[in-house]
Amino acid sequence: MLYIKIGKMEVNSSFLKNKIFFDSPNKNIVPISTSIDKNGNLSIANCSINNLVERYGSPIYLLDEMTLRSSCRAYKRALEKYYPGKSLPIYASKANSSLFMSNLIHSEGLGLDAVSEGELITALNGGVDNKKIVFHGNNKSDREIEFAIRNKIKIVVDNSFDLERLITFSESLNTTQEVMVRFTPGIECHTHEYIKTGSVDSKFGFGIENLEVVFSKIKKSKNVKLVGLHAHIGSQIFELDPHNDLAEIMVKVALEAQKFGHIITELNLGGGLGVKYIPNDDPPTIDEWVETISKALIKACEKNKFKLPTLMCEPGRSIVATSGVTIYKLGAFKEIPGLKTYISVDGGMSDNPRPITYQSNYSACLVSDPLNLNSPKHFTIAGKHCESGDVLFKNILLGNCKTGDLLCVFGTGAYNLSMSSNYNRIPRPASILLNDGNSELIQKRETPEDLLRFDVLPDRFISHSSVS
């Protein structure tokens, strides 16, 4: 079969005109293996999307292995290129957590950041080295803290409640627990209000003004060892300058910690690098982002005569977003004369809550007419859920289409599956890994029956099941 790379074609769909970046997939809208076959149909990793839907059903999440590995390697390569000291990129697994993702991250030599016992168990069972896992969270449970300590996982202390229980558990278990302290550096980036995490008004981390008390309290503990600091300034960031300020602040805080006898050997500058969802998005490349944080940290260390620490960063979205697409089947059409035409799909806010939550924008095309060659018109794409706000696209240009056609939404690898729900008792889609013409199931499709597994009908109630 003849495949024509989208990146080398002039097309009518503006987002398909973009050059394909192999070294920095976050600059792409489409996965790097995206192509158009001889019949004019969209293809990913030399796999027919029509055949995948016939085999696995719809809606469906697809992940391109080539794009995933390219993203991981871009971070590793850039850190080796720009930072002379030790470094470790740590995948923020909240973006997309599964046994497969954990195993792939491990195979590429990255660490992993988890924020719950569920993410920790997934990482460990997926093969991630416990020494490369960091445990975050602003309200860790006793069970989660004890689990992390017993499995010798580094814990990021987020607040005083965290610290008090860490001290108690490490003493009762008679073990030395390595920790990092998270603080808010007071830096804001131009991102969505809900995903600003570095400003003074944030639920995450200690305020800088409270750190002396924290450092003193840790010093008095016999079992808690402070080895590093963590700060994070936001998500879906397109700016580089704030990271220069962040490095300087972190080194100065590390010097303050030294006054209390702590030897800080690790600085985690967080993640947050943005990705290209729509044509107007213009994020820095992975290389540019890593170069910025590396040079900023080197400069700050030289200025303050501080030994180069292990440089950690926590990419999530920029690792997995572009590798993922979601395939929907078109259903009902509703035309409102003189206003708009609605097309409903067989999924929506339960498999992608970001449009209704964050007003997030995506790019999409018909699988059968990716170039919009067939009488394109504007449509509103609605989900099937019982919410007026369940709209994926308010005004998208698509070629002539009909019920049963397939729609491919790009950039859904991050936060779609991990934030999905069973709203309206709709089962979650399956996830399929694509690589060089092969497809492999990595997460099973839920069934309606699966949704009853944890329901309990009290004995005094009588079940009158009429399901045949």
The reported pLDDT for the residue numbered 331 is 98
Distance CA 254, CA 306 (A): 9
Q: Could you report the per-residue pLDDT of 287-334, keeping only the tens digit for each?
A: 999 999 999 999 999 999 999 999 999 999 999 999 999 999 999 999
Which has the closest alpha carbon to 421: 327, 353, 346, 321?
353
Beta carbons within 8 Å of 375's beta carbon, 6+ residues apart: 399, 400
Q: pLDDT grade, residue 193 (50/70/90)?
A: very low
* Domain layout of the chain by residue ranges: 47-65+322-450, 66-320
Q: How many CB atoms lie within 10 A of CB 76?
A: 17
The reported pLDDT for the residue numbered 100 is 98
Q: How many CB atoms lie within 10 A of CB 16?
A: 23
Q: Could you report the per-residue pLDDT of 331-345, keeping only the tens digit for each?
A: 999 999 999 999 999
Distance CA 280, CA 2 (A): 31
Element (H, E) at 229: strand 224-230
Element (H, E) at 212: helix 211-220
Q: What is the 3-state secondary structure (H, E, C) of 373-400?
A: CCCCEEEEEECCCCCCCCEEEEEEEECC
The reported pLDDT for the residue numbered 465 is 66
Answer whether residue 245 shows pLDDT above 60.
Answer: yes
- In single-letter form, the type of residue at position 178 comes to E
Lowest mean pLDDT among 3-17, 33-47, 214-228: 3-17
**Does residue 59 have a cis bond before it (omega within 30 degrees)?**
yes
Which has the closest alpha carbon to 413: 353, 318, 349, 324?
324
What are the residue ranges of helices labelled H in 30-64?
49-56
Angle, nearest 10°, between helix axes 142-150 and 160-172?
Answer: 50
Q: Could you report the per-residue pLDDT of 168-187, keeping only the tens digit for each?
A: 999 999 999 999 999 998 77
**Average pLDDT of every residue of the chain:** 92
3-state secondary structure of 113: strand
Distance CA 236, CA 256 (A): 31
Beta carbons within 8 Å of 440's beta carbon, 6+ residues apart: 432, 433
3-state secondary structure of 281: coil
Helix, strand, coil percentages (3-state) for the chain, rounded to 5, are 30, 25, 45
Distance CA 155, CA 2 (A): 51
Structure-derived torsion over alpha carbons of residues 118, 123, 124, 129, reported in degrees to the nearest 10 = -150
The reported pLDDT for the residue numbered 220 is 96
The reported pLDDT for the residue numbered 242 is 83
- Domain 66-320 sits in CATH at 3.20.20.10
Q: pLDDT grade, residue 466 (50/70/90)?
A: low
Beta strands in 255-376 (DSSP E): 266-268, 310-313, 324-336, 340-345, 364-366
Which has the closest alpha carbon to 238: 202, 291, 288, 294?
288
Which has the closest alpha carbon to 85: 337, 295, 310?
310
pTM over 0.85: yes
Tokens standing for 45?
A: 């990793």
C-beta separation of 325 from 362 below 8 A:
no
Average pLDDT over residues 205-218: 95
Beta carbons within 8 Å of 245's beta carbon, 6+ residues apart: 185, 187
Which has the closest alpha carbon to 50: 404, 383, 302?
404
CATH topology of domain 47-65+322-450: Lyase, Ornithine Decarboxylase; Chain A, domain 1 (2.40.37)
Distance CA 357, CA 345 (A): 19
Sign of CA pseudo-dihedral 257, 259, 260, 264: positive
C-beta separation of 41 from 367 below 8 A:
yes
Average pLDDT over residues 82-93: 98
Distance CA 385, CA 266 (A): 46
As annotated, the active-site residues are 386
